[in-house]
Amino acid sequence: MTHAPNFSLACMLFDLDGTLLDTAPDLISSLNYALKAEGLQGVSTDHIKPYVSNGAAVMIKHSTAKTITSSQHNKLLELMLDHYEQNIAIKTDYFQGIPAILKKLEEKQIKWGIVTNKRSRFTTPLISSFGLEHRANCIISGDSTPHPKPNPLPLLTACKQSNVIPENCIYIGDACHDIEAGKQAHMKTIVATYGYLKTDDQPDTWGADALIDHPQELAFWIN
């Protein structure tokens, strides 16, 4: 794992769920609240955690053994998201090693930001609960631009807000659509394999510049 000769890191961008923060406990708790409220059986963390990075609708899809109607799905989604909004950072925490990486970036005066498909309804209070809204150079939510990831627009918007060029940025994420977006934006890309990967995911085939098993490995990229 080596840097390109002309690569100089100007900004490190993070996906949110499964990369910067371990949000699975609160999302799964809200999912089970919704399932039980509708008389359905709850799901185990091991079963549903790999789908967290794909959003609430996908989590619901993989949580019910029986087929549910569109109206039932929409009801579950509403219940889950309303509950999550009210309980957004009860058990959520940084992945171990992330605070040290953010501190190192700031000490080196390297910009960093967040680019997530999570809607601002949830991103804003979540980021605020960790006091990151004044530390991050940019925070791009799933509804901040007309097209979310894998479209590169959110990442390009982050670059514009941070006054950096994509070629001097790194994007870290735990899903294939993260790497696809980063590559289309002409950034260096890193797979956070410590995140919410599915058992049949093959991150080594996604075309990323690196795979990391722990956030502390990001220190290698910080000049």
Quick: pLDDT tens for 162-203.
Answer: 999 999 999 999 999 999 999 999 999 999 999 999 999 999
* pTM of this structure: 0.95
DSSP state at residue 17: B
What residues contact residue 158 under an 8 Å CB cut-off, 6+ apart? 11, 13, 113, 115, 138, 140, 169
Rounded CA-CA distance 194/85 in Å is 25
Residue numbers annotated as active site: 15, 17
Q: Cis peptide leading into 99, omega within 30 of 0? A: no
Radius of gyration of the chain (CA): 17
Quick: pLDDT tens for 80-124.
Answer: 999 999 999 999 999 999 999 999 999 999 999 999 999 999 999
Q: Report whether 166 contacts 185 (CB < 8 A).
A: yes
Half-sphere exposure of 122 (CA within 13 A, CB side): 24
